């Protein structure tokens, strides 16, 4: 059974990666909306100011990012100094009249203390130990209240120190020092110190699956060293101008060193992790419920109000059922990207949705190391034959906008010249004929033989497969393979696939997505899933990683998008619409701020922050 343990762990790790990938999509509402509703216009300047004020040592790096970029940003924001790297989340208050949330904070009713927030998540997490379990969206919803990550994203998509007091680059940025706050206590009463940061990272690098992502960032020799009781130095693989944004996720969640030791010996502790956050885990029954209670000894209690007494989290695998329950008042908040669930909540009375279509993307990807997709002609033919229009209208049902690249048009990174060559089946014919002439063994009846793998059993995944196959059929003989999600991700990681549908990209800063496309992520187990290596693209990726120059970074990402398109490894369909749906009485879902008063990025790939919610 250990084999299965391996498989399972790989899997669980991959799913979190998936989660990573998936940030958010914008809402089905249109761009006009986005531009006019701009809550960010109000808040971004303050936020930038706050970030500058609290950022301490990071201020210098941020200043560089603040360089205006007229070309790519939405019109009304172009000359703002604190130009957001991410577009703001839309609040669609569906049936209730337009509410104040949409416009920031002013006229909200008085915050109320107390109450229990009931949250639905789409999947149970194997465990909640950030050094042993890989986190997907659901796990983040459960763990962000338990852990304060050392850094987090502000509302403009820039990193800010969170649990850490400050981050300082050393030299060219290939090392960074992190100074922790003094006097912070874990839920078990122990005091946070440098040794905890070291023990946590070491445990993460020891975990075969978490390490897949972590090794891409941290140097192999001496990834972390202690400077003093509260300061550690991270040593990186290459210069990084924005390292702290890599520790905004589970890599930035710190555990007490001695608890980690015990957890290594006793796997059951992974269910009841100990953090520094505003909530502590009270009880957890797998597949049933996880209950968090307020931490009476919260380190930031003087700086922020924590309103809720308890948070109860229920795994509900059918998103439409979860959405119905929010409408019926049986749940207070859910996170989903399922079109039917989104539509259900938009239709429901007393439910508001916070939609973000500007982060991750839904796409198909091909394995470039095995036949037939090791040949670019086959990849291009499949792209031509894909019916993206049908996908958008029938699968996404208008909830998510079309994607031409990995960036939403509202984002400064977006390259407007890049287009996907989908919905053009006639152009596939000559390519397929040519390919089959060269490789008759991979074809029958003049069509290329391929296998479409997807996760199931799931009605919606089956539908997607049937839709895609209907478009591909004239040029491809498609066999289907339906695998359980875990096995599906494992096989993809091992390169045992032709073509799959996937959801990925969309980190608040694209540098965090480098891990999916760089050459060094390719090995026996690869998180560069299509196994496509482009050394020149790698050079660009690392150049922008080191760069402080926003214009140059934008330029580089434009070129990377073009290169990715030209390699025909991904067929982008749409920008995922990540939606936080909440009952009308749930306040402060977006617009929460850090202990030092910076407004936080809301709905980062569906990762909802529950810390400062209150119920009216």
Partner 1 sequence: MARFLARRLVLLAAVLLAVTFCGFAAMNLLGDPLVNVVGVLAELDCEAIAAGTAQDTAVDAAGSDCDTVAAAKAQYHLDRAVPTRYLLWLGDMLTGDFGTSFQNDQPVSAVLREKLPETLMLLVMAQIVSVGIAVPWGVIAAYRANRAFDRGSTVASFGLLAVPNFALGVVLLYLLALRWQIFPSAYESGDFASRVFSLVLPAFTLGLPLAAGYQRLLRTDLITTLQEDYVHMARAKGLPPMRIMFRHALRPSLFSVVTVFGVSTGTLIGGSLVVEQIFGIPGIGREIVTAVVRDDFPVVLAIVMVVAITFVVINFLVDLLYSWLDPRVRTR
Partner 2 sequence: MKHADSTGTAADAGSSLTGADNADGAHNADNAGSASAGSPTGAGSADSGGNADGVLRRRLGTGFWLAVGWLMVMALMALFAPLLPLADPTQVAFGGPREAPSADAWFGTDALGRNVFSRTMHGARISLAVGGFAIVFGMVIGGGLGILAGYFRGLLDQAVRFAFFVLLSFPALVLAILITATLERSLLVVSLTIGILAVAPVGLLARACTLVFAEREFVAAARVMGARHGRIILRELLPNVVIPMGALTLLGMALAVVAEGSLAFLGLSVAGEDSISWGKMIVDGAGLRDLQNAAHVTMFPVSVMFVTVLALNFAGDRIRQRFDVKELAF
In the list partner 1, partner 2, none, the entry touching 479 (Cβ below 5 to 8 angstroms by class) is: partner 2
* Closest to partner 1 by CB, 90 or 486: 486
List binders of partner 1 among 107-136 (CB under 8 A): 126
Residue span binding partner 1 (CB under 8 A) among the ranges 144-152, 206-214, 389-397, 599-607: 206-214
Q: Report in angstroms how near the CB of residue 129 gets to partner 1 at its nearest.
A: 15
Q: With binding defined as CB under 8 A, does residue 171 bind partner 1?
A: no
Q: Report in angstroms how near the CB of residue 434 gets to partner 1 at its nearest.
A: 35
Q: With binding defined as CB under 8 A, does residue 286 bind partner 1?
A: yes
Q: How many CB atoms lie within 10 A of CB 49?
A: 13
- Tokens 């429901």: give the residue: 348
In the list partner 1, partner 2, none, the entry touching 462 (Cβ below 5 to 8 angstroms by class) is: partner 2
- Tokens 């891990």: give the residue: 515
**Cα(153)–Cα(136) distance, integer angstroms:** 18
In the list partner 2, partner 1, none, the entry touching 390 (Cβ below 5 to 8 angstroms by class) is: partner 2
Site string for partner 1, 234-273 (x = CB under 8 A): ----------------------------------------
Of 359, 362, 351, nearest to 395 by C-alpha is 362
Q: With binding defined as CB under 8 A, does residue 459 bind partner 1?
A: no
**Cα(15)–Cα(18) distance, integer angstroms:** 5
Residue 393 to residues 320, 359, 397, 429, 573, Cα–Cα distance (Å): 19, 20, 5, 25, 11
- Tokens 């909640």: give the residue: 128
Q: Report in angstroms how near the CB of residue 5 gets to partner 2 at its nearest.
A: 22
Helices (H) and strands (E) in the chain, counts: 17, 22
In the list partner 1, partner 2, none, the entry touching 286 (Cβ below 5 to 8 angstroms by class) is: partner 1
311 phi, psi to nearest 5 deg = -130, 125
Q: With binding defined as CB under 8 A, does residue 206 bind partner 1?
A: yes
Q: With binding defined as CB under 8 A, does residue 393 bind partner 1?
A: no
Residue 476 to residues 333, 372, 435, 499, 595, Cα–Cα distance (Å): 43, 11, 12, 12, 55
* Closest to partner 2 by CB, 418 or 464: 464
- What pairs with residue 600 in β-bridges? 154
In the list partner 1, partner 2, none, the entry touching 265 (Cβ below 5 to 8 angstroms by class) is: none
Of 63, 12, 579, nearest to 335 by C-alpha is 579
Q: Report in angstroms how near the CB of residue 267 gets to partner 1 at its nearest.
A: 8
Are 454 and 480 in contact, with CB atoms under 8 Å apart?
yes
The separation between CA 114 and the C-alpha centre of its own chain, rounded to angstroms, equals 30
Query: DSSP assignment of 141-173, as one string?
Result: HHHTTT---SEEEBTTS-EEESSEEEEEEETTT
Q: Are strands 578-583 and 231-235 parallel, antiparallel or unpaired?
A: unpaired
Site string for partner 1, 471-510 (x = CB under 8 A): -------------x-xx-----------------------
- List the structure tokens of 204: 């993460």
Cis peptide before 106 (omega within 30 of 0): no
Q: Report in angstroms how near the CB of residue 223 gets to partner 1 at its nearest.
A: 16
- Tokens 């916070």: give the residue: 354
Per DSSP, 484 falls in state: -
**Cα(603)–Cα(335) distance, integer angstroms:** 9
* Closest to partner 1 by CB, 1 or 75: 1
* Closest to partner 2 by CB, 419 or 463: 463
- What pairs with residue 166 in β-bridges? 179
Q: Report in angstroms how near the CB of residue 288 gets to partner 1 at its nearest.
A: 6
* Closest to partner 2 by CB, 464 or 564: 464
List binders of partner 1 among 21-50 (CB under 8 A): none
* Closest to partner 1 by CB, 66 or 330: 330
* Closest to partner 1 by CB, 457 or 535: 457
Q: Report in angstroms how near the CB of residue 505 gets to partner 2 at its nearest.
A: 26
Q: Is 178 helix (H, G, I), strand (E, B) or coil?
A: strand
Are 127 and 141 in contact, with CB atoms under 8 Å apart?
no
**Cα(475)–Cα(379) distance, integer angstroms:** 12
Q: With binding defined as CB under 8 A, does residue 616 bind partner 1?
A: no
Q: Report how many residues bind partner 1 under the rule CB under 8 A.
A: 31
In the list partner 1, partner 2, none, the entry touching 584 (Cβ below 5 to 8 angstroms by class) is: none
Sign of CA dihedral 235, 238, 243, 248: negative
Q: Report in angstroms how near the CB of residue 215 gets to partner 1 at its nearest.
A: 13
Sign of CA dihedral 29, 424, 406, 557: negative
* Closest to partner 2 by CB, 238 or 330: 330
**Cα(613)–Cα(616) distance, integer angstroms:** 10
Q: With binding defined as CB under 8 A, does residue 75 bind partner 1?
A: no
Are 263 and 256 in contact, with CB atoms under 8 Å apart?
no
Q: Report in angstroms how near the CB of residue 416 gets to partner 2 at its nearest.
A: 28
Q: Report in angstroms how near the CB of residue 275 gets to partner 2 at its nearest.
A: 36
Which residues contact partner 2 by CB under 8 A? 318, 320-321, 324, 340-341, 343-344, 387, 390, 393-394, 397, 456-457, 459, 462-463, 465-467, 469-471, 473, 478-480, 482
* Contacts of 72 by beta carbon, 8 Å cutoff, 6+ apart: 411, 412, 413, 414, 554
**Cα(400)–Cα(64) distance, integer angstroms:** 33
Of 161, 170, 187, 173, nearest to 53 by C-alpha is 161
Q: With binding defined as CB under 8 A, does residue 6 bind partner 1?
A: yes
* Closest to partner 2 by CB, 282 or 482: 482
Q: With binding defined as CB under 8 A, does residue 524 bind partner 1?
A: yes
Q: Report in angstroms how near the CB of residue 470 gets to partner 2 at its nearest.
A: 4
Site string for partner 1, 48-67 (x = CB under 8 A): --------------------
In the list partner 2, partner 1, none, the entry touching 518 (Cβ below 5 to 8 angstroms by class) is: none
Residue span binding partner 1 (CB under 8 A) among the ranges 189-197, 205-213, 377-385, 402-410: 205-213
* Closest to partner 2 by CB, 253 or 448: 448
List binders of partner 1 among 304-343 (CB under 8 A): 314, 317-318, 321, 324, 330
Which of 219, 390, 525, 546 contacts partner 1 by CB under 8 A?
525
Are 307 and 319 in contact, with CB atoms under 8 Å apart?
no
Q: Are strands 333-336 and 116-121 parallel, antiparallel or unpaired?
A: parallel
Contact residues for partner 1, defined by CB under 8 A: 1-10, 126, 206, 208-209, 286-289, 314, 317-318, 321, 324, 330, 456-457, 484, 486-487, 524-525
């Amino acid at each position: 059974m250990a084999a299965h343990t391996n498989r399972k762990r790989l899997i669980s790790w991959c799913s979190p990666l998936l989660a990573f990938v998936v940030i958010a999509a914008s809402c089905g509402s249109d761009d006009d909306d986005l531009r006019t509703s701009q809550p960010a216009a109000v808040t971004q300047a303050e936020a930038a100011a706050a970030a500058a004020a609290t950022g301490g040592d990071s201020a210098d790096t941020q200043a560089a990012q603040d360089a205006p970029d007229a070309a790519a940003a939405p019109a009304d924001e172009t000359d703002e100094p604190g130009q957001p790297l991410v577009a703001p989340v839309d609040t669609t208050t569906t049936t209730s009249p337009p509410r104040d949330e949409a416009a920031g904070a002013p006229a909200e009713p008085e915050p109320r203390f107390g109450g229990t927030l009931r949250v639905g998540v789409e999947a149970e997490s194997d465990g909640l130990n950030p050094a042993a379990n890989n986190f997907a969206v659901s796990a983040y919803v459960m763990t962000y209240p338990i852990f304060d990550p050392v850094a987090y994203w502000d509302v403009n998509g820039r990193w800010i120190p969170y649990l850490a007091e400050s981050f300082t680059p050393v030299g060219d940025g290939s090392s960074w020092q992190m100074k922790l706050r003094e006097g912070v206590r874990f839920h078990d009463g122990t005091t946070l110190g440098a040794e905890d940061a070291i023990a946590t990272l070491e445990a993460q690098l020891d975990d075969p699956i978490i390490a897949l992502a972590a090794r891409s960032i941290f140097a192999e020799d001496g990834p972390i060293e202690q400077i003093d009781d509260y300061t550690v130095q991270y040593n990186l693989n290459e210069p990084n101008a924005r390292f702290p944004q890599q520790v905004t996720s589970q890599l930035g969640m710190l555990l007490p060193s001695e608890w980690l030791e015990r957890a290594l010996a006793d796997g059951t502790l992974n269910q009841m992790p100990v953090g520094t956050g505003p909530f502590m885990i009270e009880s957890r029954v797998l597949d049933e419920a996880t209950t968090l209670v307020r931490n009476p000894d919260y380190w930031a209690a003087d700086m922020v109000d924590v309103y809720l007494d308890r948070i109860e989290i229920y795994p509900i695998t059918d998103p439409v059922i979860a959405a119905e329950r929010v409408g019926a008042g049986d749940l207070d908040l859910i996170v989903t990207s399922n079109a039917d669930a989104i539509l259900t909540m938009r239709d429901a009375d007393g439910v508001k949705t916070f939609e973000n279509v500007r982060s991750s993307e839904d796409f198909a990807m091909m394995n470039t190391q095995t036949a037939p997709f090791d040949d670019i002609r086959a990849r291009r033919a499949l792209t031509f034959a894909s019916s993206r229009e049908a996908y958008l209208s029938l699968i996404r049902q208008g909830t998510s906008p079309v994607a031409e690249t990995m960036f939403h048009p509202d984002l400064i990174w977006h390259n407007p010249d890049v287009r996907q060559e989908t919905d053009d089946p006639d152009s596939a014919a000559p390519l397929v004929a040519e390919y089959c002439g060269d490789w008759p063994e991979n074809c029958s009846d003049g069509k290329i033989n391929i296998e479409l793998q997807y996760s199931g059993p799931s009605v919606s995944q089956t539908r997607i497969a049937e839709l895609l196959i209907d478009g591909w059929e004239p040029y491809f003989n498609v066999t289907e393979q339906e695998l359980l999600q875990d096995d599906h991700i494992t096989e993809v990681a091992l390169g045992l696939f032709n073509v799959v549908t996937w959801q990925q990209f969309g980190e608040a800063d694209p540098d965090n997505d480098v891990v999916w496309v760089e050459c060094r992520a390719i090995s026996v187990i690869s998180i560069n899933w299509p196994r496509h290596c482009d050394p020149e693209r790698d050079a660009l990726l690392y150049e922008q990683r080191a760069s402080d120059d926003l214009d140059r970074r934008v330029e580089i990402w434009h070129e990377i998008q073009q290169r990715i398109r030209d390699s025909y490894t991904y067929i982008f369909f749409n920008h995922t619409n990540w939606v936080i749906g909440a009952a009308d009485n749930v306040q402060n879902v977006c617009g929460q701020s850090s202990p030092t008063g910076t407004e936080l990025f809301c709905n980062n790939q569906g990762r909802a922050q529950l810390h400062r919610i209150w119920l009216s």
